[in-house]
Amino acid sequence: MPIPSLMPIPSLAFAWFSDLLVEHCEIFFSLFAVDMDTILVEQPPDTWESFPLFQVFNNYLRLDENLCGGRFHTQLRDTFAPQVVRYVDLMESSVAQSLHKSYEKEKWESKGPVGCAASEDLFWKLDALQTFIHDLYWPDDVFAKHLEQRLKLMACDMMEACINRTLQAFQTWERKGTARWTSTDYIVPSEMCAMINVILEAKTQSLKLCTFDGADTHQYHNKIDQLVDKTLSDMQTGLIVKMTAILEASITKLARYDEGSLLAPILSLTYNKGMSSSGREVGKAYVNFVRNSTEQLRQRVTDELWVINFFEQWYSSQMNLLCNWLSERIDHGLHLFQLSALSHIVRKIYSDFELQGIEEEKLNSKVYQTIMSRIQLEEAAASVTNGLNREHEDSEEYPDNVADAIAKGKTGGLHRTDSETSEGSYVNRIQNATQNVMGRITGIGRGVGNIGGIGGFANKFLNNKF
């Protein structure tokens, strides 16, 4: 009689034992669930001390292939799902209220790269909430994705509110001290730099808080990114307009010396007698403003690329304004006061922004070359009449090329170099400029002579002077 095979018996026994073990665990957990439900019922509402209990059991069950998705695991999920939803609801309301209150009392003290206290608190809360929900490792994939999407949408909404509130505060600060905006004593407030940092940090945080594993599935990150770019552009434009207004106010002082101006003869008289400030002082005041502002932005704003881009746009705006101002006076020569101020401003701005890292091709633009051509021509004409003496005497730091022109004027005229000799039109330009200057002097004499009370003195002075 053949002996029956006993080989299948051990495998069946082990399978039977595994099923018994799983059933034993489920029975044990079901008994524990009775006590757990009793404790959860007695737990005060809106308290979350039971979440660590869920995490302990869920982390154990989800790693056991026999118990994952079992009866107790399902009961655990169904028991805590309403608490998770309630927790997210309360946190969303709490973060929104905190954001509103924080911005109402925000003092805009710089907090480094995060910007300010309100934005730092917001970004931390959003990140902490998303990290907490992620660490629950919710067993239901559909519900887990729903929670993640809701948190990403909440982060998008909160960051949008943060950006809009920051822009409103920035625009409010733009309107503060309107009278000071045109003064060269003005320095960009550190509070406005902090606001710029908030927007820059929002751009960085949105990549983490508004994307799903690095993918912008629902376009939340793209929405924030576009809002950030628009806000930064608005901030940059507004700040450049305000800072360019200071240059406009400075060159407005120069316009009083225009030919045909009512005050030009009197101002020229006091200028030539040394009774008024020199044009270089106006230039130095504006250059000091530029240096203080660039230093403030360099130290306070954390994004190097944004600072460089801002400097490029600001430099271009200044050059365009100066070029337009000179174009309006294309048919008239510049007064020595105007020439000295413009020469100092243009040359110093060029060198200062070069030190700030602006590219040579953007510094030496067509607009800049046009301005310098006009200034050099006016300087050459002034050196022929020895007119820059006072500006040279008032300054120990006068630009080398102007000082050389003055020195050449003192020794009897301009000395032409070989390159200048080859350009035949250059002599004609000097002669025309000289004629313009002499004609202007004659016009000034006639204008001063027509002013009652000082006509005789003015004519006598002009005759002696020239």
Give tens-digit pLDDT for 363-414. Answer: 999 999 999 999 999 888 888 765 555 455 444 444 444 434 433 433 333 3
In a domain, 14, yes or no: no
In a domain, 238, yes or no: no
Whether residue 342 is predicted with pLDDT greater than 50 in this model: the reply is yes
Q: Give 215's strand partners.
A: 212
Lowest mean pLDDT among 94-103, 322-331, 446-455: 446-455
Q: In the predicted model, what is the mean pLDDT of residues 128-149?
A: 93
Whether residue 86 is predicted with pLDDT greater than 80 in this model: the reply is yes
In a domain, 5, yes or no: no
Reference 335, options 266, 396, 398, 400; nearest CA is 266
Looking at the fold, whether 298 and 160 belong to one and the same domain comes out as: no
Helices (H) and strands (E) in the chain, counts: 18, 0
Looking at the fold, whether 87 and 219 belong to one and the same domain comes out as: yes
CB 130 within 8 A of CB 209: yes
Looking at the fold, whether 459 and 326 belong to one and the same domain comes out as: yes
Looking at the fold, whether 205 and 277 belong to one and the same domain comes out as: no
Looking at the fold, whether 298 and 406 belong to one and the same domain comes out as: yes
In a domain, 164, yes or no: yes
Looking at the fold, whether 273 and 204 belong to one and the same domain comes out as: no
In a domain, 17, yes or no: no
Q: Locate tokens 């120069």: which residue?
A: 254
Looking at the fold, whether 226 and 279 belong to one and the same domain comes out as: no
Half-sphere exposure of 385 (CA within 13 A, CB side): 23
Question: What domain count does the chain have?
Answer: 2
Residue 446: band (very low, low, confident or very high) from pLDDT cuts 50, 70, 90 = very low
Q: What is the DSSP letter of 396?
A: S
Looking at the fold, whether 427 and 361 belong to one and the same domain comes out as: yes
Residues in the chain: 466
Q: Model's pTM, two decimal places?
A: 0.75
Range of the domain at 430: 256-465
In a domain, 15, yes or no: no
Looking at the fold, whether 143 and 276 belong to one and the same domain comes out as: no
Looking at the fold, whether 332 and 264 belong to one and the same domain comes out as: yes
In a domain, 366, yes or no: yes
pLDDT for the residue numbered 260: 57
Residue 466: band (very low, low, confident or very high) from pLDDT cuts 50, 70, 90 = very low
In a domain, 38, yes or no: no
Looking at the fold, whether 371 and 268 belong to one and the same domain comes out as: yes
Looking at the fold, whether 340 and 407 belong to one and the same domain comes out as: yes
d(C-alpha 180, C-alpha 198), whole Å: 25
The string of DSSP codes covering 269-289 is HHHHTT-S--HHHHHHHHHHH
